[in-house]
Amino acid sequence: MKYFSFFLFFLLFLNCKNPTTQESLQIIKKESKRIEISNKLVLNEETEAFIQPYRERITEEMNTKLSYTPKLLSKKDGKYNTPIGNMMADAVFEMANPIYKKRTGNTIDAVILNHGGIRAEINPGDITTKTAYEIMPFENEIVVVKLQAEQIQAMFDYLAQAKRAHPISNMQLVLSEDFKILAQSIAGKPVDKDSVYHIATSDYLQNGGDHMLFLTQPEKLTVLDYKLRNLLIDYFKKHPEINPEKDQRFIER
């Protein structure tokens, strides 16, 4: 018992306000303890045996090799765009587009994710299912929003103000040293005032996460029922080796 973090307390209850409740039970003392579940407690063998088959299947699946990368991929590796962020946004563009096209007949014009949503680094070597769980532990899923030109402008303004390597795909943004927009384009073309754009993102951001408010009032919202983690797993399976690079998609000149 000595390893338990211990606390005891006693309270005195004097109930004299209502004589009719004299016969009911009264609390005369309370004690409390917070007990740590430490490795000094023995494992319950029957419970362990019950968990074991579940555990084994997960371990096996988690260690399955999906792909390979020759280098460390970190979200710190770049000011406005990073290899890992580019890989994630490009993966969404590549994997979500066929589904969106099949569902709606339209194609995705560009992708925006958030820098904070990259939850881990990828070490050089084998990429496993576990890697996908580490970089994307949440259940976020891919949605596509149909946006007007002015909402697209709000997106570029947001990126210019945020000055963060939010992952983007199939669009370009060039800032001056004092963060003015020098050039912006989607699929290599300037934003057309009379066009609508189909932007893929996560449900988290579409709901206003990271204050990406330009995503919250779309003309149309399509939920792909495709979790970002599963999308990455499928992307890794499709590409036996990945070696993303930092590029010119979001830069300062």
Partner 1 sequence: MKRKEFIQKSIGTGIFVGLSSYAFSSTIFTENTKHVTILHTNDVHSHIDPFPNDGGRNANKGGVSRRYSLIQQIRKENPNTLLLDAGDIFQGTPYFNFYGGELEFKLMSKLGYDAATIGNHDFDNGIDGLWAQMPNAQFKLLNANYDFSNTVLDGQIKPYEVFVKDDVRIGVFGLGIELEGLVNKKMYKETQYLDPVEIATDIVKKLKTEEKCDLVICLSHLGYQYEHDKIDDLKLAQQTQDIDLIIGGHTHTFLDEPTVVKNKINQDVLVNQVGWAGIYLGRIDFYLDKNTKTVKSASLGI
Instruction: Give min distance, CB of 107 to partner 1, in A.
Output: 25
Asked if residue 60 binds partner 1 (CB under 8 A), the reply is: no
Asked if residue 139 binds partner 1 (CB under 8 A), the reply is: yes
Asked if residue 20 binds partner 1 (CB under 8 A), the reply is: no
Identity of the residue, 129 or 169, whose beta carbon is nearer to partner 1 in the bound complex: 129
Q: Find the binder of partner 1 among 8, 102, 161, 188 (CB under 8 A).
A: 8
Instruction: Give min distance, CB of 151 to partner 1, in A.
Output: 22
CA distance 198 to 151: 11
Whole-angstrom CA distances from 239 to 59, 91, 233, 236 are: 22, 10, 10, 5
Instruction: Give min distance, CB of 43 to partner 1, in A.
Output: 5
Identity of the residue, 32 or 161, whose beta carbon is nearer to partner 1 in the bound complex: 32
Asked if residue 234 binds partner 1 (CB under 8 A), the reply is: no
Identity of the residue, 30 or 76, whose beta carbon is nearer to partner 1 in the bound complex: 30
- Rounded to a whole number, what is the distance in angstroms from the first to the last CA of the chain? 65
Instruction: Give min distance, CB of 40 to partner 1, in A.
Output: 9
Q: Find the binder of partner 1 among 2, 19, 31, 177 (CB under 8 A).
A: 31
Contact segment (CB under 8 A) with partner 1 among 21-29, 71-79, 149-157, 193-201 equals 21-29
Instruction: Give min distance, CB of 138 to partner 1, in A.
Output: 9
Q: Find the binder of partner 1 among 133, 162, 181, 221 (CB under 8 A).
A: 133
Q: Name every residue whose Cβ is closer than 8 Å to that of residue 111 and which is 6 or more positions away in sequence.
A: 89, 90, 92, 93, 96, 167, 168, 169, 170, 199, 200, 201
Phi and psi at residue 150, in whole multiples of 5°?
-70, -30
CA distance 67 to 248: 25
Whole-angstrom CA distances from 181 to 28, 72, 128, 173, 176 are: 71, 31, 39, 7, 6
From the list 59, 40, 81, the residue with the least C-alpha distance to 167 is 81
Asked if residue 248 binds partner 1 (CB under 8 A), the reply is: no
Q: DSSP for 158-209, please give it.
A: HHHHH-S---EESEEEEE-TTS-EEEEEETTBPPPTT-EEEEEEEHHHHTTG
Contact 224, 142 (CB under 8 A): yes
Q: Find the binder of partner 1 among 2, 12, 105, 190 (CB under 8 A).
A: 12
From the list 130, 132, 114, 115, the residue with the least C-alpha distance to 207 is 114
Instruction: Give min distance, CB of 58 to partner 1, in A.
Output: 5
Point out which residues bind partner 1 (CB under 8 A). Answer: 5, 7-15, 22-39, 41-45, 47-48, 50-51, 54-55, 57-58, 61-62, 133, 139, 203, 207, 223
